[in-house]
């Protein structure tokens, strides 16, 4: 297991107690912009707050906290270790109780060779898409040798950078809509576009895997993504469940695609990009209701369960391919619906005249963008799906059926509101 220790030391293997001692002896574990050391974890609120500040400070650019290595004047002196169970609990509690918004990190113990339950704990904090983070209403970042409180102008600068990154993701979504494979004049239905963009990834992170003649690694990643989908999402998730068919090479990556008879509603395309990102295009954002009366009225519905499956599948694919790429950094996520005006949720339309009681969407487009990190993408996929499409479902009046999405199991049906 390698750990990033800064520009000069780059990445170094820290898997054993001897690895730590060698790094200390070689002057490679001195504190820096990217590395913090501590052995002091007393059980009092002020100490927990200080620990939270250390973790939050590392989230701006990413870095590592090593608990159990003694330092003096920012220079590593001794590999001492700490009681593992107590220290692990203290780290998790400090992060959950004091840091806002939630901070994701990876915690890994390096055990003492002779003493049970004594370890050094390596806490790797990836660059956070939600940085800067607050502790007690103050923002923290890093200087050359440690944490510092961020001045207001630096906070504004970081928030502006985050906003610009999200705007770029919105621009990419609009470009995806422009690239829809059928001409605009032939379109009848609404569309869905989803993007998962790994902000800090090398542009060719997955090129070697995607260019292999043997696509076992690709198929295995798709299988892992499909295994995370709920049974209720079998419709839109079928491409993932049959993930060895329908692959097409593209200049920007490899696409798992279905375009049924070149018909608009048959378009479903998952592009696995060379940088590990995923772009999804779906042509069945709306469709005609099955009943004859609906077609006569040119009445379209939104297949919410189907579209939830497409969004969930996209994020699940992005998460699955991180096991191949080992990317642990920031992500920008986005969804875009177009052609939605006056459509009603398919799940809310009941009976021949059910459409009169169903809420019809009042805008042509819906777009939502958000930031995350790999750990949240893997562990909290349903919560991210809700963050992206929750307001869209509320606009259709079906929030009571689908939200909170992490608890949804496809049961129940929304009844139309009573007529006044």
How many CB atoms within 10 Å of residue 411? 7
Burial class of residue 267, CB neighbours in 10 A (0-12, 13-18, 19+): buried
Residue 9's pLDDT is 59
What is the overall mean pLDDT for the chain? 87
* DSSP per position, 315-358: HHHHHHHHHHH---SEEEEEEEEES-TT-EEGGG--STTGGGGS
Of 106, 124, 150, the position where a domain reaches its end is: 150
The rounded distance, in Å, linking the Cα atoms of 379 and 409 is 18
The rounded distance, in Å, linking the Cα atoms of 48 and 90 is 7
CATH number at residue 100: 3.30.950
pLDDT value at 411 more than 50:
no
In 63-180, beta strands by DSSP E: 63-67, 69-72, 75-79, 82-83, 99-100, 106-111, 118-125, 134-135, 138-142, 147-149
The rounded distance, in Å, linking the Cα atoms of 11 and 4 is 4
Of 109, 124, 150, the position where a domain reaches its end is: 150
The residue-averaged pLDDT of 351-373 equals 79
Residue 295's pLDDT is 56
Residue 264's pLDDT is 86
Of 119, 150, 181, the position where a domain reaches its end is: 150
User: Does one domain contain both 279 and 144?
Assistant: no
User: Does one domain contain both 143 and 193?
Assistant: no
In sign, the C-alpha dihedral spanning 225, 229, 235, 241 is positive
Residue 347's pLDDT is 85
Tens digits of per-residue pLDDT, 200-258? 899 999 999 999 999 999 999 999 999 888 888 767 777 787 766 789 999 999 999 87
User: Does one domain contain both 139 and 170?
Assistant: no
Residue 318's pLDDT is 97
Whether residue 417 lies inside any domain: the answer is: no
The residue-averaged pLDDT of 31-44 equals 85
User: Phi, psi at residue 38, to the nearest 5°?
Assistant: -160, 150
Alpha carbon 6 to its chain's center = 25
Q: What is the DSSP letter of 360?
A: B
List, in sequence order, every residue forming a beta bridge with 160; answer none if it has no partner. Answer: none
Copy the structure tokens of residue 242: 């049959």
Rounded to a whole number, what is the distance in angstroms from the first to the last CA of the chain?
64
User: Does one domain contain both 145 and 229?
Assistant: no
User: Does one domain contain both 98 and 70?
Assistant: yes
Q: Nearest 5°: CA angle at 295, between 290 and 300? A: 75
User: Does one domain contain both 28 and 140?
Assistant: yes
The rounded distance, in Å, linking the Cα atoms of 199 and 62 is 13
Tens digits of per-residue pLDDT, 326-347? 998 899 999 999 999 989 998 8
User: Does one domain contain both 86 and 168?
Assistant: no
User: Does one domain contain both 146 and 173?
Assistant: no
Domain that holds residue 144: 2-150
320: nearest Cα among 200, 198, 209, 225: 225
Tens digits of per-residue pLDDT, 60-71? 989 999 999 999
The rounded distance, in Å, linking the Cα atoms of 36 and 76 is 10
Question: Torsion angle of alpha carbons 379, 382, 388, 389, nearest 10°?
Answer: 180
Whether residue 206 lies inside any domain: the answer is: yes
Copy the structure tokens of residue 307: 């579209």
User: Does one domain contain both 127 and 171?
Assistant: no
User: Does one domain contain both 20 and 44?
Assistant: yes
45-58 and 84-98 helices cross at what angle (nearest 10)?
A: 70
Let me know: does 300 contact 190? Beta carbons within 8 Å. Answer: yes
How many CB atoms within 10 Å of residue 368? 17
The rounded distance, in Å, linking the Cα atoms of 367 and 174 is 10
Residue 188's pLDDT is 87
Number of domains into which the chain is organized = 2
- Strand, helix or coil at 299? coil
Q: 130-139: b or e for each residue (b if 16 or more CB lie within 10 Å)?
A: bbbbbbeeeb
Whether residue 420 lies inside any domain: the answer is: no
**Owner of token pair 């250390």:** 54
List, in sequence order, every residue forming a beta bridge with 71; answer none if it has no partner. Answer: 76
Whether residue 360 lies inside any domain: the answer is: yes
Q: What is the DSSP letter of 133?
A: -
The residue-averaged pLDDT of 261-290 equals 89
User: Does one domain contain both 252 and 352?
Assistant: yes
The rounded distance, in Å, linking the Cα atoms of 33 and 53 is 14
Let me know: does 14 contact 24? Beta carbons within 8 Å. Answer: no
Copy the structure tokens of residue 138: 């103050």
User: Does one domain contain both 79 and 178?
Assistant: no
């Amino acid at each position: 297991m390698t750990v990033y220790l800064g520009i000069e030391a780059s990445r170094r293997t820290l898997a054993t107690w001897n690895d730590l001692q060698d790094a200390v002896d070689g002057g490679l574990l001195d504190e820096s912009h990217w590395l913090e050391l501590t052995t002091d974890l007393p059980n009092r609120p002020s100490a927990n707050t200080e620990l939270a500040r250390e973790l939050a400070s590392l989230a701006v650019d990413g870095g590592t906290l090593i608990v159990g290595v003694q330092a003096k004047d920012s220079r590593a002196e001794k590999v001492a270790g700490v009681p593992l169970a107590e220290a692990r609990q203290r780290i998790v509690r400090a992060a959950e109780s004091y840091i806002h918004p939630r901070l994701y990190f990876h915690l890994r113990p390096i055990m003492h060779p002779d003493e049970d339950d004594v370890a050094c704990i390596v806490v790797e904090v990836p660059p956070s898409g939600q940085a800067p983070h607050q502790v007690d209403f103050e923002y923290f970042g890093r200087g050359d040798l440690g944490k510092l409180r961020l001045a207001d102008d630096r906070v504004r600068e970081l928030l502006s950078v985050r906003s610009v990154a999200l705007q770029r993701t919105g621009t990419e979504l609009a470009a995806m809509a422009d690239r829809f494979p059928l001409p605009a004049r032939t379109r009848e239905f609404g569309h869905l576009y989803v993007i998962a963009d790994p902000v800090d990834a090398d542009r060719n992170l997955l090129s070697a895997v995607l260019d292999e003649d043997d696509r076992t690694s690709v198929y295995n990643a798709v299988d892992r993504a499909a295994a995370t989908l709920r049974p209720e999402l079998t419709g839109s998730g079928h491409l993932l469940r049959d993930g060895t068919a329908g692959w097409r090479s593209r200049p920007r990556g490899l696409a798992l695609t279905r375009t049924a008879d070149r018909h608009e509603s048959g378009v479903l395309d998952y592009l696995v990009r060379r940088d590990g990102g995923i772009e999804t295009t779906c042509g069945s954002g709306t469709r005609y209701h099955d009943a004859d009366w609906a077609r006569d009225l040119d009445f379209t519905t939104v297949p919410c369960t189907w579209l939830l499956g497409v969004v969930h599948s996209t994020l699940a694919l992005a998460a699955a391919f991180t096991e191949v790429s080992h990317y642990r950094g920031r992500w920008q996520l986005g969804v875009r619906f177009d052609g939605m005006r006056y459509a009603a949720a398919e799940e809310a339309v009941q009976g021949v005249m059910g459409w009169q009681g169903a809420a019809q969407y009042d805008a042509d487009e819906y777009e939502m963008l958000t930031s995350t990190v790999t750990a949240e993408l893997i562990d909290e996929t349903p919560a991210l799906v809700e963050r992206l499409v929750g307001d869209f479902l509320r606009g259709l009046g079906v929030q009571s059926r689908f939200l909170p999405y992490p608890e949804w199991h496809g049961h129940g049906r929304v009844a139309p509101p009573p007529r006044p």
